[in-house]
Amino acid sequence: MAKKDAPPRWDRKMQQRLARGEAAALGELYDRFSSLVHGLAHTVLGDERAADHLTRDVFAHVWEHPDAYDPKQGPLRSWVATLTHRLAVQRLRATETAALAQAGQGSTEELERKVRHASVAARADYIVQSMPVPLRAALELAYFQRRDYRQTAADLGVTEDEARRRLRLGLQLLSTAHDAGAAPGAPPGYGGAA
Amino acid sequence: MNEAQRFPDRDPDRDPEEDQEEHKETQETKEPKETEGTERAKGAKGENGSRDATSGADGMSGGNGDDQRPTPDPSPDQPPRIPLPRASVEDTGRPLPALEDLGDPTPRPAPLVLEHRVLKSLLGAWALAACSTEETAAVEEHLGDCGLCADEARRLREAVGLLHPAESLDLAPSLRARVLEGCLERRPPRIPVPEWATPYDAETARLDALLQDFGDAEWHAPVRLRWFEKDEPTSRRTTVAGVIAHLLTVDGLVAIALGLEDPMGEVTADRPTPAARTDAYWRASHFPPTRAVRAPWREQTHALVRTVSFTGGGGDGGGGRGKLSVPYGDFELPLHDAMLDRAFECWVHAEDIAEAVDYPYEPPSGSDLHQMVGLAARMLPTVLSARRRAGLAAPAPGRHLVPAGEPGRSLRLEIEGSGGGEWLIPLDSPAAVGSAEHEVAHVALDGAEFCRLAAGHVAPAEAAAGQVGDRAAIRDVLLAAASLSRM
C-alpha cells in the first residue's frame, strides 16, 4: 500500500500530544506505525508472539519517553523504525545468548552472524517500504512480475532509460541495507530519504 | 529472507578482479554451476535456470570448434544468464578457427557495442535479469573490463537477494487494545480517552484494518444495508465505499455537534437525519464513492476521539461541554450515547462489509459489547413509549402511567456471553425505574444476537431468544429493539 509521507507538522504535533499525555494521540500513533513496527520486529525475531511483545515494548517506550524524539532530527517514522530495530536486535541477541548458554552448542560467531543477517533483512524491508513509489513499482514489476525493463517501462508509461534508471537506483538504495554500522544504537538505512 | 543461502558462494569482500575472472570463465565454459549462481540471484525468477543453461551453452564454443548458431531464446523476456557468442563463424563464411585460437583468453568484441554510460545504466536491469540477451552479453563482457561496474554489479546482485514477497501479516485486532493498555498502565494519561469513547476508538481501528488491503474489487463490492422500518425489513444497495461514505456523513453529526467541520462540505441535505445526509452525499458525487473516502472517514474518526477526550471526561457532567447532545434530526442523544451509537454502527457496517467481501470479522471485545448493549437497553423504554403512542405497542395494562422515579413493570434482559449482563427494562414509562419485584418477563439471548436484532439484521420473531413470561411484553420489547435500527 502506498504510504504518503507524513508532513513534519504531523510529527511535531504528535510529539507534543504524547508529551502532554494525550491517550488519543497514542492510539493514532499505533494506527500509523503498528504495521511498520510489527513487520520489522517479525523480520528480526521471526516469531509472531515475540513480535507482539516487541510491539508493546516499542510503543511503551515512545509513550514513556516522548521527548526522546526530536523532530529536528528527522521524521518520526524513521525514528520509530530505528528504535524498533534496536530493541528487536537487542531481544534477538538476548534470547539467542540464553539459548546458547542453555544448549551449550553453537558458537558466538554463529550468533553474531544470525543477528547480522536479521538486521540486514529488517533494514532491507524498511528500505523497500520507504523508497519512493516509482522505484518500488519498477522493482515490483521487474522482480516479482518478471517483466524485463522494456516491459517495465511500458507498464509504467516511462521511457526505457527511465525504467533502467529506476531499477538501478532502487537496487542501489536497497544495497545500503548491507552497510551495517558498528554502533547498535544507530543502524543506518532508516534515514528519511531512504 | 535468505540472502545467505542465495549467495553461499559470494563473499562481499571478494576482490572485484576475481569477479571479473568469474565473468570471463562464464563466457568460456559450459559449466552449469555458473548458471546456478545466477539463478539463485534471480530468486523467485529462477525456475527457468535450466533453459538458461541450455541457451547459454548453445552459444559457447567451449573450445571444441563446434560453433553453432545461437538458438533464439524461446521467451525474449527471459534472457539467458550466460552471454551468447559474438558473430557466428558460419555467418562470416570464413573457415572455422583453429582449436588453439579458441583457447585465447582475451575478450573478443561483443556484437552489441554500447557506451559505458549505457552499460552502467543497464546494471540494475542486468542484476534483476531484466535485459535482452544481447544487452546481458554486452554488460557481462563489460564487467570483465571495468572494475567499478563489476563492483556495482555485485552489490546490486546482492541487493536482489534481499527482495522477497511482502508478507502481509494481519495484526491481531486485539493487539491494539493490549498494547495501549500496557502503555497506559506504565504511564497514566493526563488526558484519557473517555470510557464511552473507547468502543468507537476500537471499532473504527478494526474497520480501518479490514479496509487496509482492499483492492478496487473490494471497494466496489456490492453491499446491502438492512434495517427495520415500520416493523418491516428494509434494505438499500450500495458498495463498500458507499458504506464508508455513509459512516462518514453520519459520524459527521457528532462532528458538527462538537464544532468540527461537517464532512459534507458544500453538499446540503434537506433534513439533518442520517438517511437524508447519506442520500444527499451519495447523490452529490458524479461517480460512485471510491477508496478515496477512506482517508477523510479515518481522519474524522481520529478527530472525534481526540475532541471528546477534551470535553470533560464524564460526558454526562464535568466539563462545560459535558452536557452536549447530538441532534440526529428526529431525536437527540447525549454525546456519550452518540459515541456508543456510532461505535455500534461502525461494527454493524464493518460486518456488512466483511460479509460482502467474504472476510471473517469478530464481534467487539466483551467490555465494548457490554457498553453497546447498555446503550440499547437505555434507549428501549423511550422507544417503547413512542411506539405505544403510535399504536405500535400494547397499551400499558395499568390505569395510570408509573410516576417518574417509581418502580414499574419490568422486563429482565439477560445477555449471555462475553460482554453480557442483565438489564431491567421499565416497560410502562421511560421515567420509571426497572424493578426486579415488578418483573413480568425474562428474555435471554447472546450479546451478538441481540446486537444483530438491534441492527435490524435479524427479525424479532426469528431472534434466538429464550423467553419466559408476558408474551406481549416480550414481543413489544423485541420489536422495539429492531426498531432501533436505521439506515
pLDDT digits (tens, 9 = 90+) for B93-106: 455 445 444 444 44
Cell of B123: 546494471
Residue B38: per-residue pLDDT: 41
Q: Which among A56, A142, A144 is the nearest to B178, CB-wise?
A: A56
> Does A97 lie in the same domain as A22?
yes
Answer whether A120 touches B (CB < 8 Å).
yes
- Domain-located, residue A73: yes
Between B374 and B405, the higher pLDDT residue: B374
User: Which residues of B fall within a CB distance of 8 Å from A64?
Assistant: 183, 186-187
Q: Which among A55, A150, A177 is the nearest to B162, CB-wise?
A: A177
Please indicate whether, in this complex, the C-beta atoms of A21 and B187 are within 8 angstroms of each other.
yes
Cell of A179: 552497510
Answer whether A54 touches B (CB < 8 Å).
no
User: Which residues of B fall within a CB distance of 8 Å from A1?
Assistant: 212-213
Cβ–Cβ under 8 Å, residues A86 and A183: no
* Of A79, A78, A110, A76, the residue nearest A93 (C-alpha): A110
Q: Find the mean pLDDT for residues B374-386.
A: 91
Give which of A18, A171, A178, A179 to mutate to test B binding, by max B Cβ within 10 Å: A171
Domain around A43: 9-127
Q: Find the mean pLDDT for residues B301-325.
A: 72
- Domain-located, residue A189: no
User: Which residues of B fall within a CB distance of 8 Å from A144?
Assistant: 44, 163, 165
Q: Which among B121, B130, B186 is the nearest to A147, CB-wise?
A: B130
The kind and range of the H/E element at B208 are: helix B198-211
Using CA coordinates, name the residue in chain A closest to B152.
A172
Beta carbon pairs, A and B, within 8 Å: 183
Residue B35: per-residue pLDDT: 39
> Does A104 lie in the same domain as A160?
no
Residue B54 has pLDDT above 80, yes or no: no
Answer whether A38 touches B (CB < 8 Å).
yes
Helix intervals (H) in A46-132:
48-64, 76-103, 108-130
Residue B73: per-residue pLDDT: 44
Nearest CA of chain A to the CA of B191: how many Å?
Answer: 5
Whole-structure pTM value? 0.75
Nearest CA of chain A to the CA of B378: how many Å?
Answer: 27
Q: Which among A31, A148, A171 is the nearest to B77, CB-wise?
A: A148
Last residue of a domain, one of A105, A127, A149: A127
Dihedral of the alpha carbons of A100, A189, A160, B22, in degrees to the nearest 10: -50
> Does A112 lie in the same domain as A44?
yes
Query: At residue A78, what are phi and psi to the nearest 5 degrees?
Result: -65, -40
Q: Worst-scoring range by mean pLDDT, A144-158, B122-136, B224-238?
A: B224-238
User: Which residues of A fall within a CB distance of 8 Å from B169?
Assistant: 38-39, 42, 48
Cβ neighbours for B428, distance < 8 A, ≥ 6 positions apart: B385, B396, B398, B401, B402, B408, B409
- Domain-located, residue A136: yes
Between B198 and A181, the higher pLDDT residue: B198
CATH number of the domain that residue A81 is part of: 1.10.1740.10
Residue B31 has pLDDT above 50, yes or no: no
Residue B428: per-residue pLDDT: 86
> Does A168 lie in the same domain as A89?
no
- Domain-located, residue A84: yes
- Domain-located, residue A192: no
Q: Find the mean pLDDT for residues B425-430.
A: 89
Q: Find the mean pLDDT for residues A30-50.
A: 93
Query: At residue B423, what are phi and psi to the nearest 5 degrees?
Result: -130, 135
User: Which residues of B fall within a CB distance of 8 Å from A60?
Assistant: 179, 182-183, 186
> Does A22 lie in the same domain as A42?
yes
> Does A137 lie in the same domain as A122?
no
Q: Which among A26, A164, A178 is the nearest to B158, CB-wise?
A: A178
Residue B167: per-residue pLDDT: 67
Between B386 and B168, the higher pLDDT residue: B386
> Does A148 lie in the same domain as A71?
no
- Over residues B342-364, the pLDDT tens digits come to 999 999 999 999 999 999 999 99
Please indicate whether, in this complex, the C-beta atoms of B187 and A27 are within 8 angstroms of each other.
no
Residues 69-88 of A with CB under 8 A from B: none
Q: Worst-scoring range by mean pLDDT, A50-54, A166-170, A174-178?
A: A174-178
> Does A96 lie in the same domain as A61?
yes
Answer whether A136 touches B (CB < 8 Å).
no
> Does A139 lie in the same domain as A110?
no
Please indicate whether, in this complex, the C-beta atoms of B180 and A171 are within 8 angstroms of each other.
no
Cβ–Cβ under 8 Å, residues A163 and A153: yes
CA dist B315 to B185, B191, B195, B369, B380, Å?
A: 23, 14, 10, 19, 21
User: Which residues of B fall within a CB distance of 8 Å from A142?
Assistant: 125, 128, 130
Residue B55 has pLDDT above 80, yes or no: no
- Domain-located, residue A46: yes
ipTM exceeding 0.95, yes/no? no
Please indicate whether, in this complex, the C-beta atoms of B128 and A139 are within 8 angstroms of each other.
yes
Query: How many CB atoms within 10 Å of residue A72?
Result: 7
Residues 97-126 of B with CB under 8 A from A: 121-125
> Does A141 lie in the same domain as A88?
no
> Does A81 lie in the same domain as A143?
no
B448: pLDDT confidence band, cut at 50, 70 and 90? confident
Q: Find the mean pLDDT for residues A154-170.
A: 95
Q: Worst-scoring range by mean pLDDT, A32-41, B4-13, B332-341, B377-386?
A: B4-13
Nearest CA of chain B to the CA of A73: how many Å?
Answer: 25
- Domain-located, residue A83: yes
Answer whether A119 touches B (CB < 8 Å).
no
Residue B480: per-residue pLDDT: 93
Residue B146, helix vs strand vs coil: coil
Nearest CA of chain B to the CA of A79: how many Å?
Answer: 19
Nearest CA of chain B to the CA of A101: how many Å?
Answer: 25
Please indicate whether, in this complex, the C-beta atoms of A149 and B4 are within 8 angstroms of each other.
no
- Domain-located, residue A188: no
The DSSP string of B232-252 is: EEEEEEEEHHHHHHHHHHHHH
Q: Worst-scoring range by mean pLDDT, A73-87, B11-25, B394-408?
A: B11-25
Q: Are strands B407-416 and B421-426 parallel, antiparallel or unpaired?
A: antiparallel
Residue A186: per-residue pLDDT: 44
Cβ neighbours for A42, distance < 8 A, ≥ 6 positions apart: A48, A51, B167, B169
Answer whether A178 touches B (CB < 8 Å).
yes
> Does A28 lie in the same domain as A106?
yes
Strand partners, B446: B416
Residue B217: per-residue pLDDT: 92
Residue B171: per-residue pLDDT: 84
The tally of domains found in chain A comes to 2
Q: Worst-scoring range by mean pLDDT, A135-149, B197-211, B312-326, B463-477?
A: B312-326
